[in-house]
């Protein structure tokens, strides 16, 4: 397994944020992490990459996280945080290069230069590649930070709300990029709020409620009306279409 969690828990002082999370992600999967605000999605992702202390076991390719150095970890997983704040006055192109440098590479080499050009093209960053990351729009910044993650060429990408700030066109473009990466064998764990988008993009969904994993399976198994009502406290209408399900919240409980 690329990633395995066993009885993962996170506490902030006396408060329990995550409780006994068990999760596995294999090659070529797109796993969607869903749940209401405050359910622990971002905390779980940060724990997975060692940004916050946790209890239990986190393993990459059967190697415990505690035995993996930061440089080694950057070759296992690329992490795109929910926070889009960037403190460095660097060009978008330079931001992408940082992903390559995280694994000890350099865009000065022909191989990595070609990879950078591919990422620039696939994410539509050509018009802003020379602009400061501090001057671009929120959606453009999100695409640039995703590009930095893609430049690491890792077998697993963890992205916290990667569609935040993206317009519908770029959300669909991102879906196509993720699906292409999946076909190439890359796995992804992405946190999402849009149920329809999650159901169409992901091979499996992991649903959190109050820090606990309450469902893990196919979108059809997880996104039932009963479970949505229990976890989100809303009623939802599920319409099956040729393009996949359309899931719409209708009434607050």
159 secondary structure, DSSP code: E
Say if residues 36 and 230 touch (Cβ distance below 8 Å). Answer: no
Quote the tokens at residue 13. Answer: 């002082």
pLDDT of residue 65: 96
Distance CA 85, CA 141 (A): 9
Neighbours of 23 (CB within 10 A): 20
Give the containing element (helix H, strand E) for 8: strand 3-12
pLDDT of residue 86: 81
Residue-level pLDDT, tens digit, the chain, 253 residues? 899 999 999 999 889 999 999 999 999 999 999 999 999 999 999 999 999 999 999 999 999 999 999 999 999 999 998 877 788 899 999 999 999 999 998 898 998 999 999 999 988 899 999 999 999 988 888 889 989 999 999 999 999 999 887 888 888 888 988 998 899 999 999 999 999 999 999 999 999 999 999 999 999 999 999 999 999 999 999 998 888 889 999 999 8
Q: What is the CATH number of the domain that holds 199?
A: 3.40.50.300
pLDDT of residue 137: 86
Distance CA 32, CA 217 (A): 10
Bridge partners (DSSP) of residue 30 are 188
Q: How many domains does the chain have?
A: 1
Distance CA 50, CA 174 (A): 26
pLDDT of residue 82: 83
Give the containing element (helix H, strand E) for 34: strand 30-34
What's the whole-model pTM score?
A: 0.91
pLDDT of residue 138: 81
Distance CA 248, CA 168 (A): 17
Pick from 200, 186, 112: nearest CA to 148: 112
Domain carrying residue 146: 3-252
pLDDT of residue 206: 98
Name residues whose C-beta falls within 8 Å of residue 22's C-beta, 6 or more positions apart in sequence.
5, 6, 7, 8, 213
């Amino acid at each position: 397994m690329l990633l395995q969690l066993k009885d993962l828990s996170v506490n902030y002082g006396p408060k329990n944020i995550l409780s006994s999370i068990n999760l596995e992600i294999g090659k070529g999967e797109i796993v969607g992490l869903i749940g209401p605000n405050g359910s622990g999605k971002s905390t779980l992702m940060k724990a997975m990459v060692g940004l916050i202390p946790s209890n239990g076991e986190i393993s990459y390719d059967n190697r415990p996280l505690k035995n993996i150095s930061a440089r080694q970890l950057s070759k296992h997983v690329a992490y795109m945080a929910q926070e889009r704040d960037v403190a460095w006055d660097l060009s978008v192109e330079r931001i992408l290069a940082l992903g390559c440098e995280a694994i000890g590479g350099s865009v000065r080499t022909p191989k990595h230069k070609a990879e950078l050009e591919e990422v620039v093209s696939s994410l539509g960053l050509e018009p802003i590649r020379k602009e400061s990351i501090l001057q671009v729009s929120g959606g453009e910044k999100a695409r640039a930070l995703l590009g930095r993650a893609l430049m690491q060429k890792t077998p697993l990408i963890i992205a916290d709300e990667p569609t935040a700030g993206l317009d519908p066109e770029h959300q669909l473009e991102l879906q196509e990029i993720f699906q292409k990466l999946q076909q190439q064998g890359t796995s992804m764990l992405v946190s999402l709020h849009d149920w329809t988008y999650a159901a169409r993009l992901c091979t499996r969904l992991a649903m959190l409620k109050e820090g606990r994993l309450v469902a893990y399976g196919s979108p059809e198994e997880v996104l039932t009306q009963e479970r949505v009502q229990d976890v989100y406290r809303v009623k939802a209408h599920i319409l099956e279409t040729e393009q996949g399900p359309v899931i719409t919240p209708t009434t607050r409980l």
